[in-house]
Every structure is written in structure tokens, then in C-alpha cells.
């Protein structure tokens, strides 16, 4: 009898425990279901794997229908340090304009929530979104030469090296003699000078008039010691081989980062030559154009390079110019500018025309 009572008691306790556990589990599940869902952050965009021969220009043309938006593509991918060097197999992120706008609007709402009880009048229009500048990076801007008329007056000339070398490079010590007609030069310890060489006067390929003198930049030196007759300097950087009789001029810092902007409306000009004087030029070439500050040309402006088909003999048909490349302005002088060819669909020759897109 006692055994039966014990069994019944244990069964009752077990049933009670199961009932309490089931009720607790259900309440817990209901409470969890009532908790608000976390806001999942959404970031628009997808990835593309770079193939051999791809450029940011081509990728932008393919996915944004505009090659000129390649700086935006570069800005969205911080892992690309130089926009002109991308490699097959590298993954880059692509953004659509509509998706980017949507994300920016959502972020703006999260940062500036509307205050309760405040109504926005329908007559008051919100301010337009701020225009973000696009920048072009050119790390070797200090190596970019120019054409100027009249030429720069030299601050001195390299006439000797400490170890009597013929070809001078970074780390070497050089002796600089100031001009004979100007002994009051600004040689002071710590001052920096650009070493350069002038080439033969540059002439227009059509009119044969002298445009100016090309200044070919070779390196950077820093003054270490000054005497009444000469100055000693250390070669800090060597862009190209420096020789005895090369000249120096004061160093002026130029920012490698430049804002990209539209060219002067209706501008027409031509390419004078390449910096290294090649017969043909292409992508990543440095060249000079016959337009400058007098024509309102500024650093960062974009222009198209075009080819104009010749007329057919005894045919009055006039052919429209065909764009074959693009360039960006790196440096400006009064009547000339130094440019970087960012894209070319065919070989570019001196005398090739340029115009505003």
C-alpha cells in the first residue's frame, strides 16, 4: 500500500514539473517574439573581378554608361592606391547611382531624425545635396616638366661632384656655382632646388613658330653648405640622370592631388609633343598642349583628343572629328600646359587636336 502511494506521489510531482516548464517556455517564446527586429544595415553595390586589359575607365563605361565617372569608382575602392595600376583577379566594388543615393538618404535620416510635433511646410524645399568633388592623384607630379617662354633664369649650375662622378644620382654630393651676374642667390642651408635641363626651343608643327623652351626636370637637391664661391648640396631625389652643367631653380611644391573639373567650353587646341619626344604616344604618356593660363586652362581640367579624317579628293563632304583619347591637365604655364594622357584608342601624334568634351 505504501509502495502504491509513493508511486502516485512521484508521478504527480513529475506532471507538475512538466506543466510549469511548458508554461515558462511558452511565455519566454512570446516575449522574444514581441522584441523589435534589429535594423539590418543595407549597403548597395556588388563586386567585379578585374580581367586582363581592364582599366577603371572601361569598367566605368561598362557599368555606369559613362567613362568619365571612373574617379568615383576609384574613390569607392580605398584598396586601389594608384588608379592607373589595377591587376587581374583583384575584386572591386561597383555602385549604382540610385543605390548610392538611397543609402545616403537613409544615413541622413538616421543622423538627423525629425523632431516630434514639428511639421515641414510643403512650400519649403530641402537644400540640394552637397556636390562631392572628384580628385585625381598623380604621385610623381614633381617630375613633370613644362614649356615656358622665356625660359627660367637658373639659380646656379652643377659644376662638380664630391667623388668626381659623371652621372649623378640620389645620395651624391654636388657643388653648385651661382650665376656670374648674380652672386646674391638664395643659397641657404636647408633650401631645396630642382635640377633641370633645357632642351632645344619647341616649335609649332604647323606654323614653325617658337612656342617656348622645354624644361626637363631631373631631380631634387638640398643645400648643406654655403661658401662665397659655391654651395654644396645633397641629391635628395633623382628622377633621371643628372650631369655636370645641369642647372638648378628654386623648388616649388605641387600637390599630387588635384580636383577634377570640366574643361573650358569650346576650347580647341593641339598636342605639341610628348615630354620624351616619342613619335607616337598612348596611355600614361606625358605631353604638352598649346593652351595655358591665358586660355583659362587650369590644373585638373579634362579634354578629349580627336582625329579629323582628311577630305576625299574632288568630294565636298566634310567629316566630323572623332574622339580617340582623353587627357587631364597637370601643370599650366602662360601659353602652354603639361598633360597626362589617361586613355587612347589609337596612336597619338604631335599636332593631334584637342577640344572640350
Strand partners, 194: 220, 249
Average pLDDT of the residues in 207-212 = 83
Residue 333 has pLDDT above 50, yes or no: yes
> Is the pLDDT confidence value at 23 over 70?
no
pLDDT over 70 (residue 303): yes
Residue found under cell 587631364: 328
325 neighbors 348 (Cβ within 8 angstroms): yes
Mean pLDDT comparison of 99-113, 174-188, 338-352, highest-scoring range? 338-352
Three cell numbers written together for 69: 565617372
- CA-angle at 320, arms to 317 and 324, nearest 5°: 140
Decide if pLDDT at 20 tops 60. Answer: no
Please report the pLDDT score of residue 308 as a whole number: 84
The string over 150-177, giving b where at least 16 C-beta atoms fall within 10 Å of a residue's C-beta and e elsewhere, is: ebeebbbbbeebeeeeeebeeebbbbbe
The total number of residues written for the chain in this structure = 357
Which residues are paired to 297 by β-bridges? Answer: none
Residue 9's pLDDT is 58
Query: Does the pLDDT value for residue 298 go beyond 50?
Result: yes
- What pLDDT score does 116 carry? 42
Whether the predicted pLDDT of 291 surpasses 70: yes
Residues 6+ apart with CB under 8 A from 137: 82, 83, 256, 257
pLDDT (average), residues 273-278: 94
Name the residue with higher pLDDT: 245 or 23: 245
Residues 6+ positions from 241 with CB-CB distance below 8 Å: 167, 168, 169, 218
Residues 272, 336 contacting (CB under 8 angstroms):
yes
Residues 6 or more apart whose Cβ sits within 8 Å of residue 299: 258, 329, 330, 331, 332
Count of CA atoms in the C-beta half-sphere (13 A) of 349: 4
Q: Which residue has the cell 514581441?
A: 34
The count of other CB atoms within 10 Å of the CB of residue 145 is 22
186-191, long-range: CB < 8 A, 24+ apart: 186/155, 186/250, 187/155, 187/156, 187/223, 187/226, 187/231, 188/223, 188/226, 189/223, 189/224, 189/225, 189/226, 190/222, 190/223, 191/222, 191/223, 191/250
Give the N- to C-terminal CA distance of the chain in Å, as an integer.
106
- The 10s digit of each residue's pLDDT in 29-64 is 444 444 443 333 333 346 788 888 888 888 887 777
pLDDT of residue 68: 72
SS3 107: helix
Is the predicted pLDDT of residue 299 greater than 80, yes or no?
Answer: yes
Integer Cα distance of 202 and 263 in angstroms: 25
> pTM value?
0.65
Statement: residue 98 has pLDDT above 50: no
- The structural domains of the chain, ordered by start, are 41-110 (3.10.350.10), 142-250 (2.40.30), 260-355 (2.40.10.340)
Residue 38's pLDDT is: 38
Residue 111's pLDDT band (cuts 50, 70, 90) = very low
State percent of the chain over pLDDT 90. 50
pLDDT in tens, 66-93: 777 777 778 778 778 777 778 888 888 7
- Round to whole Å and give the CA distance between 58 and 83: 12
State the average pLDDT for the chain.
Answer: 80
What's the pLDDT at 223? 97
Query: Distance between CA 263 and CA 326 in Å, rounded?
Result: 12
Distance of CA 254 to the CA centre of its chain: 14
How far is it, in rounded angstroms, from Cα 147 to Cα 216? 9
Compute the distance between CA of residue 163 and CA of residue 98 in angstroms, rounded to an integer. Answer: 64
Greater confidence, 117 or 332?
332
pLDDT in tens, 157-194: 999 999 988 889 999 999 999 988 765 567 999 999 99
The dihedrals phi and psi of 107, each to the nearest 5 degrees, come to -65, -40
Say whether the peptide bond before residue 150 is cis (omega within 30 degrees of 0).
Answer: yes
Residue 331 has pLDDT above 90, yes or no: yes
Amino acid at each position: 500500500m505504501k509502495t502504491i502511494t509513493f508511486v502516485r506521489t512521484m508521478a504527480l510531482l513529475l506532471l507538475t514539473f512538466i506543466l510549469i516548464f511548458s508554461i515558462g517556455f511558452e511565455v519566454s517564446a512570446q516575449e522574444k517574439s514581441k522584441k523589435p527586429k534589429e535594423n539590418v544595415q543595407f549597403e548597395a553595390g556588388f563586386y567585379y573581378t578585374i580581367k586582363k586589359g581592364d582599366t577603371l575607365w572601361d569598367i566605368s563605361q561598362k557599368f555606369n554608361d559613362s567613362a568619365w565617372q571612373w574617379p568615383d569608382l576609384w574613390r569607392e575602392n580605398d584598396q586601389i592606391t594608384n588608379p592607373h595600376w589595377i591587376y587581374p583577379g583583384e575584386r572591386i566594388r561597383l555602385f549604382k547611382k540610385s543605390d548610392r543615393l538611397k543609402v545616403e538618404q537613409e544615413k541622413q535620416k538616421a543622423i538627423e531624425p525629425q523632431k516630434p510635433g514639428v511639421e515641414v511646410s510643403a512650400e519649403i524645399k530641402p537644400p540640394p545635396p552637397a556636390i562631392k568633388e572628384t580628385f585625381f592623384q598623380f604621385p610623381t607630379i614633381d617630375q613633370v616638366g613644362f614649356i615656358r617662354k622665356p625660359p627660367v633664369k637658373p639659380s646656379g649650375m652643377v659644376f662638380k661632384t664630391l667623388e668626381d662622378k659623371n652621372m649623378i644620382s640620389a645620395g651624391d654630393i654636388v657643388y653648385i656655382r651661382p650665376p656670374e651676374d648674380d652672386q646674391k642667390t638664395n643659397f641657404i642651408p636647408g633650401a631645396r632646388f630642382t635640377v633641370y635641363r633645357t632642351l632645344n626651343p619647341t616649335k609649332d608643327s604647323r606654323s614653325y613658330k617658337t612656342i617656348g623652351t622645354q624644361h626637363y626636370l631631373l631631380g631634387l637637391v638640398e643645400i648643406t653648405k654655403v661658401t662665397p664661391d659655391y654651395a654644396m648640396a645633397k641629391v635628395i631625389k633623382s628622377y633621371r640622370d643628372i650631369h655636370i652643367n645641369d642647372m638648378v631653380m628654386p623648388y616649388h611644391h605641387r600637390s599630387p592631388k588635384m580636383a577634377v573639373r570640366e574643361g573650358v567650353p569650346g576650347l580647341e587646341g593641339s598636342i605639341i609633343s610628348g615630354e620624351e619626344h616619342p613619335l607616337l604616344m598612348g596611355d600614361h604618356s606625358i605631353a604638352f598642349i598649346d593652351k595655358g593660363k591665358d586660355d583659362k586652362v587650369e590644373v585638373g581640367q579634362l579634354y578629349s583628343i580627336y582625329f579629323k579624317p582628311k577630305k576625299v579628293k574632288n568630294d565636298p563632304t566634310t567629316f566630323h572629328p572623332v574622339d580617340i583619347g582623353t587627357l587631364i591637365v597637370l601643370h599650366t604655364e602662360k601659353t602652354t600646359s603639361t598633360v597626362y594622357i589617361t586613355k587612347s584608342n589609337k596612336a597619338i601624334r604631335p599636332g593631334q587636336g584637342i577640344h572640350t568634351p
